[in-house]
Amino acid sequence: MYASGNISVAVPFTETLEFVGGQRLVSERDYWVYVTAEDVEEIPNLQQKLEKIHIRTPDVTPPKFVGRWSENGTVSAVEGYAFDIVVQLDEAGPPRRQCSQHSPSPLPPPSHSVPVHTRLFRHLLVS
């Protein structure tokens, strides 16, 4: 069992939001949430049917370069004004690229408010 607990519903017919966090859920997996209810009478009336809700956790892992990719990259057909670059990811996504005349210092720490490709491009321009 991953999570269990009670939700306090103080007012009938009012939507009540309950945050369920700190669980051992895994990215991109199917889970089923089972709920049932009882009222707060002297002798509680228990709901007879167990409700089942299906959820799927989102992908929260970034893609990784795989295959022939190395620290030196996989570049071929370097010509006077162009080259070919080969990338392979472990999941679908649009890799970004930026060409620079020098090797920049490491990227600044991640910021969730600025996309990584924007930070990379800004860093290359300033470095």
pLDDT for 64-101, tens place per residue?
888 776 665 677 778 888 888 888 888 888 777 777 77
Structural domain boundaries, residue 43: 1-61
Instruction: Name residues of the chain where pLDDT drops below 50.
Output: 119, 121-127
**Residue whose tokens read 């309950």:** 18
Is 12 within a domain? yes
Q: Where are the alpha helices (DSSP H) in the chain?
A: 116-126
What's the confidence (pLDDT) of residue 55?
92
User: What is the tally of structural domains in the chain?
Assistant: 1
What's the confidence (pLDDT) of residue 118?
53
Is 111 within a domain? no
Is 9 within a domain? yes
**Residue whose tokens read 């030196």:** 72
Is 33 within a domain? yes
Is 0.75 topped by the overall pTM? no
Q: Distance between CA atoms of 92 and 88, rounded to whole angstroms?
A: 9
Return the bridge partners of 31, or none. Answer: 55
